[in-house]
Each structure stands twice: as C-alpha cells, then as structure tokens.
Amino acid sequence: IQAEIQTEKNKVVQELKKKDSKPLPPVPLPNLIGINSGEPADPDIREKRNKIKEMMKHAWDNYRQYGWGHNELKPIARKGHSTNIFGNSQMGATIVDALDTLYIMGLHDEFREGQEWIDKNLDFSVNSEVSVFEVNIRFIGGLLAAYYLSGQEVFKIKAVQLAGKLLPAFNTPTGIPWAMVNLKSGVGRNWGWASAGSSILAEFGTLHMEFVHLSYLTGDPVYYNKVMHIRKLLQKMDRPNGLYPNYLNPRTGRWGQHHTSVGGLGDSFYEYLLKAWLMSDKMDTEARKMYDDAIEAIEKHLIRKSNGGLTFIGEWKNGHLERKMGHLTCFAGGMFALGADGSRDDKAGHYLQLGAEIAHTCHESYDRTTLKLGPEAFKFDGGIEAVAVRQNEKYYILRPEVIETYWYMWRFTHDPKYRQWGWEATQ
C-alpha cells in the first residue's frame, strides 16, 4: 500500500511539473510508528496498554449503540448530539475522528464499521454551516490519516469532496478564510464574538498540512496555493514584539485586538509551522524560520517562572502579561521537545528542558486537584500556583494536551515518570 501511495504521489509531482506549476515541497510517506503486532515485554505496561484499549472500545461501543451517525454522544442522556461547529446534519464526526486511533490500536472490526458507515452515509451536500477549522482537522485530517494507514480509496475520495466544499470560505478580500462556511451555499462568516469581525489565528493557521496533502493526492495545486497565500500574508505583516496576535480581519488584513496566546485562539498555528517543516523532510525552511522567530518572541514575552519555581506560559493582552495558563497551552511542552532538533544556536537541550518544565507545571495543575484531573485554566498570581481560581475554569472536558506532552516527553527521554503521570490521569 505504501509503495502504491508513493507511486501516486510521484505521478502528481510529474503532472504538476508539466503544468509549469510551482513545485510543491516534498512530503514523504509517514513512518507508521508504533503500529506493530508485538506486545510490550513488561507485563505491567502490557496490562496498562490493554486497559487504554479497553477504554477506547467502551467509548466506541456506547457511541455505536446510542449515537451512531450523530456527530457526538451525550453519554448520560444516551442520545446523539451536535454542536454548532459541525452544523445540524448527522455527519458522524465521532466516527471520522476516531478512525486512526482504532486502526493504531488494532481495533480493526470497529475500523471496518466506521469505514462502512462513511462509504454509505457520509454526505457533504447538506445545508449546514460548519467550522472550517474543526472540519479540516477532524474530518479532512481524520480521512487522510485513515487513507494513509489503510490505503482505502473511499477515505481519499471523501476528503477531496469535503475540501471542495470548504474552498468558498477563502473568498475574502485578503484570502484569509472565514471561520464558518455553509457547505451547500458556500456563504461564509466569522464568529460574532471575535474581535472586530476577525478570523482566528489558530483556525486559519491550522490548514496547512491537510491542504498540502490534498494537492499531492489530487494533482490540483489550489489547496496548496490557498495555504501558502496565508503564510505569505502573515510573513509580510508587522508583529507587535514579534508576536502574532490571535485576531486578523479578513476584509482589511489588519490585526484585531492585540491578544497573543499559545493556548486557545493561537495554539495550533505554531504547531503547524513546526510540523510543516517536519512533514517536508525538513526542507520547508520558511516554516522553520517562522516557527523559530515566533518561539523566540514567546520565550521573551510570555514564558515566566512562578515564585514557586514553576515555568508557565502566560497570555499577552494589550501590552500586559496575564499570569494565567490554559489547559490548551499545555500542548506546548511536547511542541518544544519536538522542535528541539533543528533549533537555532544549538539550543536543542534548552528546548527539551523547557518541554520538561512545562510538562511538570501541567502535571502540578492536575496533582493539585481532588480528582487529579487538571482544570481548564490555572493562575500564577499572589501566592496562587497552578490552581484554578474562577468557578468557570474548574472543569475538565477530556482535553488531551497534557497527555500529549507526556507522550512526547516519554518518546524523547524514556523517563518512566511520564508514563506514570499518564496512568494517574487515566485512573
């Protein structure tokens, strides 16, 4: 299957050259790390891994029974549910989003159930307004991942169909896409709560990897051109203190409120810069430079140590640092570690250490709660250390960012504490 996909990619590249199109950066096939038929030698690790697999099967089976085809499941009410990010149509968001996890875990019967539903029922010709960002990462990303893992054509076909439905969102004066688009009419708009009618950095900045792959798989450079236009526009803009504000007006091309965050509204923009470089076999030096420049500004203006010695990443709001860190921001520990190799000035050790410090801080936010599950946000101010203060921040909604950072730190260091911390959260 891998050989066939690579052959197909090579054909696409040759066709693009014939059209005198700008050549796309090389995107090698992913190494399918961790997908094997072996079992861990350590019986304790084997038991824990099987428990995680059991949890996944429990979630899938109950969704299969009570919410099949719906975007989400309300587990207490035992009925299907959809939020505004996926519109009002039953598009099986949970099915698509879970495919690669099912495959990697070896739950192939469940994977085939999902594939069958997608083949027969997944239809994007619906009068639904959806989030471009959410649909890209969960649907297009999920379908592409399933295609690369299994080689099943249906996933590629559906991904391309959906991508075509998202393209009208880019019809703005600047080419910065709207946050929402109607899949039937193509009409787009931005969130009413966003500053000055702006698009969101983490949303329009988190399209690159999927859209580059779409151009490879279809031979159509339109997807690649859309995301590269976004990149070029961002490169030309002035950035206050070298930081990217979270809001950009798609009509005027001007920043909205000067609010910078490595958490909500900003987070995955930085992640995608780094991963675009990695995905290109480290040939996309433009993406790497943008990442390095951004991280240097973040270190200078947002990263601090608390009185208790905890490293945290605050938020920049109108010239002031808010000493608060969101759960979403905790992904950055893993990102710093992932970006250590290839960093400027031989600072690999520095960024690996920074990743470890962020992992420790986020673990503390878990450890200092009764349930040992971290809050939505936590403060470092006036003697408060890694603890939620406001009632509307004292909740946990299965966010993965802390576990994600543990995973990266385990992979890079093999320090057993990261596995232990993950197991604590599991329990």
How many C-beta atoms surround the C-beta of residue 348 within 10 A?
A: 15
Give start and end residues of each alpha helix (H) in 219-347: 222-236, 267-279, 285-301, 332-338
How many C-beta atoms surround the C-beta of residue 395 within 10 A?
A: 12
Active site residue 376: yes
Active site residue 44: no
Q: CA dist 353 to 56, 96, 315, 338, Å?
A: 32, 36, 21, 12
Active-site residue identified among 322, 376, 393, 415: 376
Active-site residue identified among 267, 284, 315, 364: 267
Active site residue 153: no
Active-site residue identified among 97, 100, 110, 134: 134
Q: Identify the bridge partners of residue 320 per DSSP, sorted by sequence position.
A: 317
Which amino acid, 4? E
* Cβ–Cβ < 8 Å for 127, 185: yes
Rounded CA separation 194/284 (Å): 31
* Cβ–Cβ < 8 Å for 366, 373: yes
- Chain centre distance of CA 228: 18
Q: CA dist 202 to 250, 294, 324, Å?
A: 14, 14, 19
Give the H/E segment covering residue 325: strand 324-326
Active-site residue identified among 203, 284, 364, 401: 401
Active site residue 267: yes
Rounded CA separation 307/167 (Å): 48
Q: Identify the bridge partners of residue 387 per DSSP, sorted by sequence position.
A: 379
* Cβ–Cβ < 8 Å for 140, 210: yes
- The two three-digit tokens of residue 374, written as one number: 């971290």
Q: Which residues are known catalytic residues?
A: 134, 267, 376, 401
